[in-house]
Chain A
Amino acid sequence: MINSEVYGEFVEHRVISDSQDKKSRKKTHHLNRRASEIIFIILMLFFPILQFVIFWIVPNFNSLLLGFQNPIDGSFTLENFAQFFKFLFEGKDLRGQYNEIVYAIKNSLIFALVSIFVCTPIVVFFSYVLFRRVPMSGVFRVVFYLPSIIGATVTTTLFRTLFLEGAPAYEFLKMIGFLTEDMEQMGLFASDSTAFLMVIIYSIWTCIGMNMILFYGAMRRIPQEIFESADLDGAGFFRQFFALVVPLIWPTITTLIVFSLSGMFITYSTVMILCPNVPSASMIGWYIVRYTTASNSYASLNYPAAVGLAFTAVGLPFVLVIRWLLNKISANVEY
């Protein structure tokens, strides 16, 4: 038999103990859950961070070191930069014709300007047209996106083939009298007057795909009511585009413009495939890649590393200032 007093104490104790247990269990459960979450986050981030460290931090840190290293004994030197500036300001090769680095800078700037002022407006407008569901918009979306799915080698080959002697685009240009005798003899991808133009045309042709998806997505996020209201107010197709769509997707446009600006320093594959032998069609990215890949020994990477650093030193503040200016143009609208 259990004494009732004792039993009462026991019950009271049990109640207190149960409540403490519950709290403790809850705390433990909470801690376990928190730990699981942390482990999950760590596991999920582990590979991206590892990849970032291996493929971004290490190579960039290495580039930083290489740029300041003497190729012969690895000691500290500014000689690689001196050589870069020598080429930049005095650099005429012995044949006295090509100062490739000047061409590379000039072309990269043109490339960026075309991306910003030609490609971006085209893509934004095309996206808007498709967004407003013009007839066959689904088909056009696929057609414009196709070059992004197909590998760059295939699209460049296709593009190149279109402009070879006897091909439709070439013959059309010939028919309308665009081709000079010199262009015909040299070919459009080797002539100084057309090689870089072909790079630009190719870039415009292929710029639509991926960017169109981004802009299309941004436009779809705009509440439908805004367009309905604009319709009631009598705003037409173009009015809605300029007064509503562009301001509302401005953050996306800003991002794309920043990408285009940074792209001017790294774009190389188009030049590499279309006109690798034409110095006057060179770009900064191709200039660096060519020097890097042509090196027979590790020591020779010092010069391209210095070139890369020099352009980063100029390019980074440039891109940041442009980004700041772009953000000033239109307030970030939330909807």
Chain B
Amino acid sequence: MKMKKLLIQAILASCAMFAVAGCNGTKVGGSNIIQVKSYKAGYSTDFLHEAAKKFHEVYPDYSVEILDESALVDGEKVAAEIGVPKKNQTDLYFTADIDINHLIKRSSTVLHKRDVTLLESLDDVFESKGITLEGKEENETIKSRFFDGFEELCKYEGEVPQWRGKMFTLPWAEAITGLFVNKAVLDKYSLAIPLTSNELIHVVEEVYRQGKASDNYPFSFGGGNAAGYWQYLYETWFAQYSGVQGFNNFMNCDPGNGKIVDEGYKVYADRGILKALEPMFEICDLNYCPNGSLSKTHMEAQTEFINGRSAFMVDGDWLLNEMKEYYFDKAKEIMMIGAPILSSIGEQIGINDNQLHSLVEYIDSHKTNDQIKTLMPSLTDEHINWVRDARSVHSTRGIAHNVVIPSYADAKDAAKLFLRFLYSNDGCRIFRNYANSNFPLSYERLPGDSNTTFQQSLDKVRDYENPQVVTTVAPFNGVRKNANMGATREMYVFNLSSWQFPKTFYFIMLDKKSDDPQFSAQTIYEQEAAYAEENWKEWMRDILYL
């Protein structure tokens, strides 16, 4: 009897031990083991495994342990984990769409301190130099190699003034987005890559006309889960016309004078919206996509695009890596092209579309303003610079790919060291070779590095003197986010924010079917501006500005 009791006690005691061990958050291995969780989507995590291996070779005392790698490691989940320090063991996250402002706002409540945040500042990593495969410091700082525009996007500009200007996140992918072309399809119909928006419209019409018989279409589109992809082209065109500053003013609802509350609606009257909408209205047409595109997934759309069913697709630089498992040979021949220059810019500077085409060619071949003026005497520096700037703009979702370190992480110093390794030239090459894409930093390529047609085209898109980026996922445009513009009440209404409403072009495609002569880019633009003006006060009230 005694023996039986003893046995039961022993079993219960061991169960209790296991239970406690399971939830007390005991960390194995101390601060030299960097415990990582990574979002796994288009870029996958092969690069991370390779980087972890190489890092361990450089620093045998440190190791990187990947605890979780899945599409579930998204911003929402990571924010929830970071918000509970007692239970969180992770030292470093590679996530997506995390709400930095929310975490910084919650910091004092969670940590009961005013001078500490839940997220570790990454300013020191940004200012430091990368670490090579040999364990040596590079000559240049990581900051100096970052592409223009990303630094501003990373800096905290949220609601807690004390922390403004700090960097609590860095992007782990350039995530350049825009127009991709299957050149084999264009070659089949003897069509050239378009350099202006009118040329694009012409090429689209030609592919539609000639390709019908052989089941070729101008565009592939995954309306089922990627209805927002069209936006990437639209936002680039908007920025081409209104400039990066104009675009950012729109995103921040700032009409240029800082009077967001009283006059923020005026940004909807920006002519760039109309000029970007005009060609979008022409190309977003159900007739131009294979049957059933409205309910296809992006993977299905990408598959048919890569296999030559369509000539173009608006997508992101993850395309090749996402499809490499089944279609690497075909996918690596896909090219990204710079968004064709808006023909309306040509009209504004007084040249026709053929001349605009030539001007773009001169800019692409790195001719100076003086050389161009010799060839096109009617143009001024201002005209040329407008087109030059427009040609160097592209959209990105890089800032939505976030690296973050919890401030209380045991191995935060080791994690920072790992980041310095990852952002080095060698680290960038690992990303190129294993994720088929780029970090948003310049880096030196070596002869053995992967250099597919696809990758060359990505390099070419930003091969300009002053490449610029625009994004709709800037983390701190709080006015727009807080006002829920386009996200809640009238969900199918176009007239909210064409930027925050991913189904805008999906519905334009649907509405065009009605053949309503009143429905045009002009009417969309006018309605949207009027709707914003009419509802502005309510939106401002929603976010407690009024």
Contacts and interface: CB of A to CB of B under 8 A. Distances in A.
Contact of A190 (B294, B488, B495): B294
A277 B223 contact: yes
Contacts of A95: 492-494, 507, 511
Nearest to A195: B295
Contacts of A100: 491-492
Interface residues of A, number: 32
A68 interface: no
A111 B323 CA distance: 38
B487 A93 contact: no
A165 B542 contact: no
Given A277-B224, A277-B227, A297-B482, A189 B295 contact: yes
Contacts of B294: 186-187, 189-190, 277
A296 B481 contact: yes
Contacts of B300: 164
Contacts of A185: 286-287, 291-292
A98 B291 CA distance: 23
Contacts of A276: 224
Contacts of B114: none
A295 interface: yes
A291 interface: yes
Interface in B471-496: 481-482, 484, 487-495
A187 B506 CA distance: 14
Contacts of B492: 93, 95, 98, 100, 279
Contacts of A72: 541-542, 544
Interface string B485-524: 0011111111100000001001100010000000000000
Contacts of B286: 185-186
Nearest to B503: A277
Interface in A67-106: 71-72, 83, 93-95, 97-98, 100
B290 A165 contact: yes
B177 interface: no
Contacts of A300: 484, 487-488
Contact of A295 (B293, B488, B494): B488
A294 B491 contact: yes
A157 to B, nearest CB: 10
Given A294-B491, A295-B487, A295-B488, A190 B291 contact: no
Given A291-B488, A294-B491, A300-B488, A277 B506 contact: yes
B463 to A, nearest CB: 37
A54 B487 CA distance: 29
Contacts of A279: 492
B495 A164 contact: no
Contacts of B490: 93-94
A98 B492 CA distance: 8
A187 B292 contact: yes
A303 interface: yes
A269 to B, nearest CB: 15
A283 to B, nearest CB: 15
A290 B489 CA distance: 10
30 contacts: A93-B490, A93-B493, A94-B490, A94-B494, A94-B495, A94-B527, A95-B493, A95-B494, A95-B511, A100-B491, A100-B492, A160-B295, A184-B292, A186-B292, A187-B291, A187-B293, A188-B295, A190-B294, A276-B224, A277-B295, A277-B503, A291-B488, A294-B491, A295-B487, A296-B481, A296-B488, A297-B482, A299-B542, A300-B487, A303-B489
Given A72-B542, A296-B481, A300-B487, 14 more contacts: A93-B492, A94-B531, A95-B492, A97-B511, A164-B292, A164-B296, A184-B291, A185-B287, A190-B292, A277-B294, A294-B488, A295-B488, A300-B484, A303-B488
Interface of A: 71-72, 83, 93-95, 97-98, 100, 160, 164-165, 184-190, 275-277, 279, 290-291, 294-297, 299-300, 303
